[in-house]
Amino acid sequence: MIPLAERQQGRYRAGMFAQRPNFRLFSGAAALVLASLLLSAAAGAQAPNIGSVKAEAQGYVNAHAKLIQQIVDSTFSFQEIGYNEVQTGIYLTGILQRHGFSIQRRIAGIPTAWLASWSNGSGHPTVSLNNDEDGLPGLSQMPGVLKQQPMIVGGNGQSEGHNTGLAGMVVAALALQSVMQQHHISGTVQVWPGIAEEILAGKAWYVRAGVFDHVDAVLSTHVSSGLGTSYGRSGGTAAVSVQYTFHGKTAHAAADPWDGKSALASAEMFDNGMNYMRQFFHPASRTQNVLVNGGDEPNVVPDLTEDWYYLREVTPEMVRQNLATANRVAKAAAAMFGTTVDVNVIGTAWPSWGNQPLAEDMYKNIQAVGMPAWTAADQLYAKAVQTLIGKPPIGLSTHIDKLGTGVVNPLGGPSDDIGDVMWTVPTVRLMFPANIPEVPFHNWKAALAEATPIAYGGASVDAKVLAMTALDLYLNPRLVQSARHYFEAVQPVLAMKAYGAPRPVVYRSFLPPEATPDLAMHDALMRRLRPLMEKLYYRQDRYPTYLDQLGVKWPCLTQKSTCGAPPPVVPGG
């Protein structure tokens, strides 16, 4: 972080009157000419009108509605999951590179992790734009229809809609570049994706790699059905994503099982122990697990079993305690059967805490932009989806949300690794309306609208609010200072009180020093699916929209037909 005093000195030295000229050295006529030149230059150097510049940024977004649609549809069609966001990264960095952004790849050694940057003038301040990127395995879904219909049976899907915010993030960056060049606004625009967010395995690695060491503010976005932001404590949880790998010894399960050491039995005993421990966890604690590998055939005593856990709590210290408990139970289960266990922390999420000055400023821009102008077709489809899922057909929201001011005593909820960033640099998150109210995330229903005009409208609003808030930071040094003061002096003390901590809260990563990204975890699945997925990529050079490519008629208002959608692709079929 460049000290404030240095920034102020840099601006002063760059000013036209850093050193007052001695007019006595010039003749009267020369002095008048010089004075005229200086006054003209000073007028040209005046800060641009913020309202006019924001209007131009909004105009840029409106003029690039086609690009927004193409990004939304393309990234939906790629259907990539954590650590495998290959095509998505190629596509997005290609757009940014063509507009003069420099690209840093393999952040923290992760092949799909990248950071795009563009600077103007002094390059200060630095504002970093973020949106998550990955989809979810097993949740493939045809967009724009009114029934569960996978595109690929057993394939991946955008059942949280991360693809929509990628469009907003990129177009916001391009809008900023355009107006900053035109009005000679100094600053650096950063763009980066939340890779592997669904396994909490991206942002903590960005933090460890020092990506935010010289960043003044992070503006992060996430898809929602409403438009809003908040500051203070969120209603979500902190978490660790951790895999327990039990190692045993094979044997014939019927002939001589006593010669074996069952890794599966160890994992099952571990799960039993964790279930018994629930009685002793705090009310906000949440634990979930899946057995990733439990053996190959019942007649072989398994020598390898992988048990993947999410351990969630509302405070960092309680997450550490629950992780220590789980580790102790796992070792005890291994000891019972004479096996061994390896513990691998895959990812982490600190509890989210929004920056108040940034949120208050962002909310003013939310009020200025407002909700998308939904069409009658948008509303009809939304109501049809709500009827499909057994909810009141209220349609799409037409009013912005209230400014969130923090949650008191949350009792659990989802986790997001943006928390690690929020405790590293002043950060605010925008929730933007690119999905349908009442639709559940991490479910096939959440993908229905994510490559439709509903998604395009939400992504446009996302881009506008992001660009306008970033412009406030570039043109108002006091906002940068206020955000930093809140982050350094206010947030730690408020969190101390909220978490019941003995001292002001300071970020300490949940990642062990020896931890490395588990890059191969989805490799086998993606090797099987990638050839099928490639056939479904959006051809933006041939079709106006992805729905057109798929043959889906918009809006689809009947559950009795596919509305023109093709049948699912069956792997091996």
pLDDT, tens digit (0-9, with 9 covering 90-100), for 225-266: 999 999 999 999 999 999 999 999 999 999 999 999 999 999
> Above 70 in pLDDT, residue 33?
no
Mean pLDDT, all residues of the chain: 92
In whole angstroms, give the CA distance from residue 307 to residue 324: 16
In whole angstroms, give the CA distance from residue 11 to residue 474: 13
Cα 360 to Cα 224, 229, 429, 462, 486, distances in angstroms: 19, 8, 11, 16, 12
Residue pair 518/400 in contact by the 8 Å Cβ criterion: no
Segment 282-298 mean pLDDT: 94
Q: What is the DSSP letter of 415?
A: B
Please report, to the nearest 10 degrees, the dihedral formed by the alpha carbons of residues 218, 223, 226, 230 taken in order: -30
In whole angstroms, give the CA distance from residue 522 to residue 81: 8
Full set of structural domains in the chain with CATH: 50-235+351-496 (3.40.630.10), 238-349 (3.30.70.360)
Residue where the block lists tokens 């093709």: 566
User: Where residue 20 falls among pLDDT bands split at 50, 70, 90?
Assistant: very low
78, 45, 56, 75: which is closest to 174 by C-alpha? Answer: 56
> Above 50 in pLDDT, residue 296?
yes
The pLDDT of residue 477: 98
pLDDT in tens, 81-122: 999 999 999 999 999 999 999 999 999 999 999 999 999 999
Tokens of 384: 């049809």
In whole angstroms, give the CA distance from residue 155 to residue 136: 9
The pLDDT of residue 45: 53
Supply the pTM of this predicted model.
0.91
> Above 60 in pLDDT, residue 495?
yes
Segment 136-144 mean pLDDT: 97
The pLDDT of residue 573: 64
Peptide bond into 566 cis (omega under 30): no
Q: At what angle do helices 162-183 and 65-78 cross, to 10 degrees?
A: 140
pLDDT in tens, 144-176: 999 999 999 999 999 999 999 999 999 999 999
The pLDDT of residue 411: 85
> Above 60 in pLDDT, residue 13?
no
Helix (H, G, I), strand (E, B) or coil at 501: coil
> Above 50 in pLDDT, residue 21?
no
Amino acid at 329: V
The pLDDT of residue 31: 46
Question: Given CA atoms 515, 521, 527, 531 in this order, what sign does their dihedral have?
Answer: negative
Tell me the Ramachandran region of residue 442: left when phi exceeds 0, alpha when psi lies from -120 to 50, beta otherwise.
Answer: left
The pLDDT of residue 561: 83
The pLDDT of residue 16: 31
The pLDDT of residue 562: 86
What backbone phi and psi angles, to 5 degrees, belong to 147?
-160, 160
pLDDT in tens, 51-85: 999 999 999 999 999 999 999 999 999 999 999 99
Segment 202-228 mean pLDDT: 98
In whole angstroms, give the CA distance from residue 85 to residue 206: 16
In whole angstroms, give the CA distance from residue 88 to residue 192: 12
> Above 50 in pLDDT, residue 8?
no
Residue 311 pairs in a beta bridge with 240, 287
Q: Which value, in Å, is the radius of gyration of the alpha carbons in the chain?
A: 26
The pLDDT of residue 10: 37
Q: Beta strands of 384-507 (E only): which ranges? A: 427-433
> Above 50 in pLDDT, residue 12?
no
pLDDT in tens, 171-192: 999 999 999 999 999 999 999 9
What backbone phi and psi angles, to 5 degrees, belong to 545?
-145, 170
Tokens of 300: 């072989």
The pLDDT of residue 32: 44
CB within 8 Å of 443: residues ≥ 6 apart: 139, 159
> Above 60 in pLDDT, residue 36?
no
Question: Given CA atoms 267, 272, 277, 283 in this order, what sign does their dihedral have?
Answer: positive
What backbone phi and psi angles, to 5 degrees, belong to 132?
-70, 165
pLDDT in tens, 328-381: 999 999 999 999 999 999 999 999 999 999 999 999 999 999 999 999 999 999
The pLDDT of residue 39: 41
Tokens of 227: 């438009």
pLDDT in tens, 418-472: 999 999 999 999 999 999 999 999 999 999 999 999 999 999 999 999 999 999 9
Residue pair 99/191 in contact by the 8 Å Cβ criterion: no
Work out the number of other CB atoms within 10 angstroms of the CB of residue 308: 19
User: DSSP letters of 319-361?
Assistant: HHHHHHHHHHHHHHHHHHHT-EEEEEEEEEEPPPEE-HHHHHH
